Structure 1
Amino acid sequence: MSADVTSMAEGGLAPRPDHVPADLVRDFNIYDVPGAAEDVQAAYAAIQQANPDIFWTPHNGGHWVATRGEDIMAMQRDYHHFSHKHIVLPPMPEGTQRQIPLEMDPPEHARYRRPLMQSLMPAVVGELESKVRDVAVEAIERVLPQGECEFIEDFAKILPIHVFLELVDLPLSDKHRLLPMAERSVRGRSAEIRLQAQQEMGGYLLGEIRARRENPGQDLLSKLVNVNVGDGRISEMEAVSYATLVLFGGLDTVAGMIGFIARFLAMNPGHRRQLVERLDDEAFVKHAIEEMIRRHGLANTARVIAEDFEYGGVYFRAGDRILPANLWVGLDERINENPLVVDFDRDRPVHAAFGNGPHACPGAVLARREIRIFLQEWLSRIPDFHIKPDTKPVLATGMVNGVLRLDLCWP
């Protein structure tokens, strides 16, 4: 992209700031990555290979992009310079309620995050396992006799949503209302679309939040909306923001990862057979899950530069936005040899799918458990499956990558 293009704000492009060198400007749009319709992560890997380690794009308000694993992991940990103050692109309208606790930095962040961590500890997740397994088995047995299914609607969304709605004690019947909101929130291409989805979710939750602030229960939602932050509990507005963010995360991200893994296994019978033959080998399955997570990164959260400073030979100015996309860590050949190849014998799959540092995903334990249960229950019943002829998986990019449709069939 020429410097002339970046000097104009036409066509939705931000003008190039004075401190951004013209030779670091690239045509990158997180919502329109070339090749993503065939393979989202391979498309990102191509961006990684073809561009400087750090570059600037005029799309989505104009922002920096960090593509290399070591830089991304450093930025995830260094909240002093790379603040979580705003995490989405393009930025939300000025004055929008921040997403709690994601758009907070330590030490404030820790006080809000604590009840979420406590509710998703390994011991608590262990108690949920039988419920997760029951939901998985029921969903699989429903589609098994049909010989085919639309995997995302018939399984990938069902498993995490049933479990999460039970965690927050909301009626399962509301899932059809909530899922479209989650989709628009995490993959809406404009700030207006995402804001509307958040407002709709806030409106849905407000009555529940007021009831549970009046009479708290033992469910996760009650704990979130009554969290004490040192000088009393959070305000009603903060409670709505916190609950909205957690619900969107619980309704979408695990479904996305399960979708990518199912698509991979449908297209790679050799890997599928390896898993089928060693389903009882807990260490092998655990390792295989990490390798598939490494290859199929999801979340992309932006940061705000907190002060003027130089990093890696690039001069950042306070207020600049930067995208250190999580999935590039797992795809970096400087860290993982032949990163686009899924190798269940890889010594140590390195990724940042769940983030690093103080903002590492508190739901990581539950996500891994759900993926493991999916593999165990699905592969023990449907060991041989593939993508239905004359169909094509529908993939999406954005702040959270995902699989929107996946038609599978089996003998």
Structure 2
Amino acid sequence: MTSVAEGELAPRPDHVPAALVRDFNIYDIPGSAEDVQAAYAAIQQANPDIFWTPHNGGHWVATRSDDIIAMQRDYHHFSHKHIVLPPMPEGTPRQIPLEMDPPEHARYRRPLMQSLMPAVVSELESKVRDVAVEAIERVLPRGECEFIEDFAKILPIHVFLELVDLPISDKHRLLPIAERSVRGHTAEIRLQAQQEMGGYLIDEIRARRDNPGEDLLSKLVNVNVGEGRISEMEAVSYATLVLFGGLDTVAGMIGFIARFLALNPGHRRQLVERLDDEDFIKHAIEEMIRRHGLANTSRVITENLEYKGVYFQAGDRILPANLWVGTDDRVNADPLVVDFSREKPVHAAFGNGAHACPGAVLARREIRIFLQEWLSRIPDFRIKPGTKPVLATGMVNGVLSLDLCWP
């Protein structure tokens, strides 16, 4: 694997044993073009539970469920202060509220949680369903589509832009920016994307700070954190992060699930036969989410620390990648096999602890609506002959293109 980050490979620090150094690059994982999560699982099986890599600035990697969940919950030792690899340039505004730890984090996160509670999501359901049906009916007569552009991006993005009351027509401008932010190989690419999104948002933010509405964006940019509302710069950072999350991650999960179902007609038929069985569909969604982990955030170690015989130093970075919980054979038997009868799918796709994803309820609802509306209209589909899905790995894994066809 070659480094795709700019600059040299990081030298091994004195406290890192040579025996724990591995050639791992989150942006260049062997086999990820065929199956991202299986490629990660191969890394998991072939390496120590915790190892160090010189790529992307040099960082530790935790590959097993127990350690990842412990690190996600222990913000005292594993801080969210910096969450991307390679590290952003010194002085880059932090991503609010993701690059904050409790108790500060909770004050900023509250309006996001309130706006995405189950009751609010239920009110959105008819809108989500309308968007899904319209997108499916548009492609149905053609017998084929490029699923990511024609559906996976349309469903969550239309819903999210309505939540923040931004024009649907702006999605063509915003999606490429979001793509560069979550999958940019260098800090410079991601920083430029953040600046572009901030430039797009600034006039809207100022308008809604002057005249707040009931939309999610108005609530975010006027958060009161006990000493008055957040500054304009903080408002831009907060809105930028939420927009990136809303524009990309659900589309990625829907893409992975559609690819899986196109390749696995047996699973597809199980879903088609039990589309009206709410409990079965809910459980099947959880199993497919487990198998297709997406988001990865790094942590900063806050103090010199011995953890399970490994010595960390304050300032070290570590990647406890979410998706490895789902592929861990210590907690999920035959983890690469999707089994709708699995008793309890164990995963960390939405994180754990204080930073668990506030959009998880909405994401699950959108996936359920996709399955119900798509499979009731297009129960039999496959990957278009002569094409190959384009998959991406990085801080957020995704499906960049997926050509499907049906009778």
* Smaller-chain TM-score bracket: over 0.9
Q: Which amino acid counterpart does residue 191 of structure 1 have in structure 2?
A: A
Q: Distance in 2 between matches of 1:10 and 1:350?
A: 36
Give the 5 Å matches for 1:281-360.
281-360=277-356
Q: Distance in 2 between matches of 1:285 and 1:56?
A: 40
Would you say 1:24 and 2:33 are equivalent positions? no
Matched residue, 1:213 = 209
Matched residue, 2:186 = 190
Q: Distance in 2 between matches of 1:34 and 1:266?
A: 23
Would you say 1:81 and 2:83 are equivalent positions? no
Q: Distance in 2 between matches of 1:19 and 1:246?
A: 37
Given candidates 199, 217, 220, the residue that maps to 1:203 is: 199
- Whether the 8 Å contact between 1:27 and 1:59 is mirrored in structure 2 is yes
- Whether the 8 Å contact between 2:6 and 2:186 is mirrored in structure 1 is no
Report sequence identity in percent: 90
In the alignment, structure 1 segments of 5+ residues that lack a partner are none
Q: Which amino acid counterpart does residue 30 of structure 2 have in structure 1?
A: P
Deviation string 1:90-130 (CA, Å, 9 cap, x unpaired) is 00000000000000000000000000000000000000000
Matched residue, 2:268 = 272
Matched residue, 2:37 = 41
Q: Distance in 2 between matches of 1:408 and 1:360?
A: 33
Would you say 1:366 and 2:379 are equivalent positions? no
Given candidates 51, 55, 63, the residue that maps to 1:55 is: 51
Matched residue, 1:256 = 252
- Whether the 8 Å contact between 1:83 and 1:105 is mirrored in structure 2 is yes
Q: Which amino acid counterpart does residue 103 of structure 2 have in structure 1?
A: P
Q: CA shift at 1:12, angstroms?
A: 2.4
- Whether the 8 Å contact between 2:139 and 2:145 is mirrored in structure 1 is yes
> TM-score, length-normalised on structure 1?
0.98
Secondary structure, aligned partner of 2:300: strand
Given candidates 69, 77, 92, the residue that maps to 1:96 is: 92
Q: Distance in 1 between matches of 2:209 and 2:6?
A: 48
Q: Distance in 1 between matches of 2:155 and 2:390?
A: 20
CA-based RMSD of the aligned residues comes to: 1.3
Q: Distance in 2 between matches of 1:347 and 1:380?
A: 26
Matched residue, 1:117 = 113
Q: Distance in 1 between matches of 2:350 and 2:94?
A: 21
Given candidates 387, 393, 398, the residue that maps to 1:391 is: 387
Q: Distance in 1 between matches of 2:8 and 2:208?
A: 43
Q: Which amino acid counterpart does residue 150 of structure 1 have in structure 2?
A: E
Give the 5 Å matches for 1:116-135.
116-135=112-131
Q: Distance in 2 between matches of 1:37 and 1:56?
A: 24
Secondary structure, aligned partner of 1:230: coil
- Whether the 8 Å contact between 1:12 and 1:60 is mirrored in structure 2 is no
Q: CA shift at 1:10, angstroms?
A: 10
Q: Distance in 2 between matches of 1:13 and 1:23?
A: 17
Q: Which amino acid counterpart does residue 148 of structure 1 have in structure 2?
A: E
Q: CA shift at 1:11, angstroms?
A: 6.1
Q: Distance in 1 between matches of 2:238 and 2:377?
A: 39
Q: Distance in 1 between matches of 2:22 and 2:198?
A: 37
> TM-score, length-normalised on structure 2?
0.99
Q: Which amino acid counterpart does residue 326 of structure 1 have in structure 2?
A: N
- Whether the 8 Å contact between 1:186 and 1:400 is mirrored in structure 2 is yes
Secondary structure, aligned partner of 1:12: coil
Q: Distance in 1 between matches of 2:282 and 2:8?
A: 44
- Whether the 8 Å contact between 2:62 and 2:318 is mirrored in structure 1 is yes
Q: Distance in 1 between matches of 2:299 and 2:6?
A: 25
Q: Distance in 1 between matches of 2:87 and 2:388?
A: 32
